[in-house]
Amino acid sequence: MDFITLLLAAAIASGTPLLIATLGGILSERAGIIQLGTEGIMLMGAVSACLVYIRSGSLWAALAAVVLVSAALGLVHAFMTVTLRANHIVSGLAMTLFGAGLSAYLGKPVAGQPLPGAFPRLELAFLDGVPFLGPIFGRLDWFTWISFALALGLHLLIHRTSWGLHLRAMGDNPATADVMGIPVQAARYAYVVGGAVLIGLAGANMLLVYSPTWNEGMTAGRGWIAVALIIFARWNPLRALLCAYFFGALDSIGFRIQLEGSLIPSYFLKMIPYVVTILVLMYLGWRGRGKPSGSPESLGLPYIREQRL
């Protein structure tokens, strides 16, 4: 396999958790609720997948546990931000700190233990021997295929359905959405919870597919990269796909350089995605001076029906 093919395969592998987490964040933020709890929810997703998989041996039970745990966390965030109108940033940071602490505690007994089995793959025999496509898509796991479908599905949902229209409206101007008869508060709950479930699954993806043992803090800041990716992707699921693989590639480039026996300390190589995050954000901010960022207008603002503005 040549370098490019290897790099692409690696980009997809390490980009998939980023993609799923970014999609979850997009859902929440399109509805107007900032989601900074990503890192914590990913960790909780990963640790609950690990615990249940090791204890029960059932992959389905593990995934069900992830959905339940992350939905519960999403529900708390929605309750804080939608109903109690707490500051979205504070609530999100609390979620991250809470998730990091609790997952470390819960994960102690299973830290470093191997999982009972690998995630099932979709074998596409007809791609064998096809250059480029074969090595990349021939033996991909189901999780990754589902993430492709998710990106496309969410894109269609947002841009081609009545629900998507409602979603875009309530993130931009909830008062208008309310006047047009859209149940803003209930829908915001649904999107925050749905988004949190995706974020939890992103954590599970890291554990079940990418690096199959639990370590404390194993997401290593990927939740924060996903938060930045929402902005790079300008709240668009298909663009999120490209951005996530771009960052996935950066992640694995550092690893490749290290394997080549470079003199650069590995700590610097591991920094690459984060440095690029800062640089890209600076570049986008500079280029977009005075232009709309594509961010939902009412992102982070609570909505109260009878308040005079």
Partner 1 sequence: MSTHPAVEMRKIVKRFGSVTANDQVDFTAERGEIHALLGENGAGKSTMMCMLSGVYRATEGEIRIQGRPVRIRSPKEAAELGIGMVFQNFRLVQTLTAAENMVLGEKGGFWRGAGWMKRKTKEIAELAERFGLGFPVDRPIWQLSVGEQQRVEIVKTLYRGADIIILDEPTSVLTPGEAEQLFATLRQMRAEGKTILITTHKMKEVMSVADRISVMRKGRMIASLAREETDERQLAQLMVGKEVVLQRKEREPAGMEPLLALRGLKALGHGGRKALDGLDLEVRKGEIVGIAGVAGNGQKELAEVLNGLHPWSGGEIEFDGAVWKRASALEAIESGIAHIPENRMKSGLAGSLAIADNLLSKSYRGPERSRLGLLRGGANRRWAQSLVEQFDVRTPSLDTPVRMLSGGNQQKLLFAREISMRPKLMVAVHPTQGLDVGAADSVHRMLMELRASGSGVLLISEDLDEILQLSDRVLVVFGGRIIGEMAHDEADRQRIGLLMTGSAGAEEAAAGRAGAEEALRQPDQPDPDGKEAIV
Q: State which residue, 170 or 204, has the beta carbon closest to partner 1.
A: 170
Please state, in angstroms and rounded to a whole number, the distance separating the CA atoms of residues 215 and 222. Answer: 14
Both tokens of 172, joined, read 């931009």
Contacting residue, 3, 4, 263, 306, with partner 1 by CB under 8 A = 306
Q: State which residue, 109 or 294, has the beta carbon closest to partner 1.
A: 294
Q: How far is the CB of 161 from partner 1 (least distance, A)?
A: 5
In single-letter form, the type of residue at position 20 comes to: I
Q: State which residue, 204 or 233, has the beta carbon closest to partner 1.
A: 233
Q: For residue 121, list its beta bridge partners.
A: 141
Both tokens of 201, joined, read 């699954």
Kindly state whether residue 302 participates in binding partner 1, applying the rule CB under 8 A. Answer: no
Q: State which residue, 77 or 239, has the beta carbon closest to partner 1.
A: 239
Number of Cβ within 10 Å of residue 49's Cβ equals: 28
Alpha-carbon distances of 259 from 114, 185, 239, 301, rounded to whole Å? 24, 51, 30, 47
Q: How far is the CB of 235 from partner 1 (least distance, A)?
A: 10
Q: How many CA atoms lie within 13 A of 182 on its CB side?
A: 22
Please state, in angstroms and rounded to a whole number, the distance separating the CA atoms of residues 219 and 39. Answer: 7
Kindly state whether residue 297 participates in binding partner 1, applying the rule CB under 8 A. Answer: yes
Q: State which residue, 108 or 160, has the beta carbon closest to partner 1.
A: 160
Kindly state whether residue 58 participates in binding partner 1, applying the rule CB under 8 A. Answer: no
In single-letter form, the type of residue at position 159 comes to: H
Residue 269 and residue 255 in contact, taking contact as beta carbons nearer than 8 Å: yes
List the end-to-end C-alpha distance of the chain, in Å, as a whole number.
61
By CB under 8 A, the residues from 87 to 146 that bind partner 1 are none
Residue 300 and residue 89 in contact, taking contact as beta carbons nearer than 8 Å: yes
Q: Is residue 218 helix, strand or coil?
A: coil
Phi, psi of 236 (to 5 degrees): -120, 120
Q: How far is the CB of 171 from partner 1 (least distance, A)?
A: 9
Q: State which residue, 21 or 167, has the beta carbon closest to partner 1.
A: 167
Q: How far is the CB of 11 from partner 1 (least distance, A)?
A: 31
Size of the site for partner 1 (CB under 8 A): 26
Nearest Cα neighbor of 107 from 58, 42, 43 is 43
Q: How far is the CB of 197 from partner 1 (least distance, A)?
A: 21
Q: State which residue, 77 or 166, has the beta carbon closest to partner 1.
A: 166
Q: Is residue 141 helix, strand or coil?
A: strand
Contact flags string 256-295 toward partner 1, x per CB under 8 A: ----------------------------------x-x---
Q: State which residue, 50 or 187, has the beta carbon closest to partner 1.
A: 187
By CB under 8 A, the residues from 161 to 200 that bind partner 1 are 161-166, 168-169, 172-173, 175-182
Chain residues in the site for partner 1 (CB under 8 A):
160-166, 168-169, 172-173, 175-182, 290, 292, 297, 305-306, 308-309
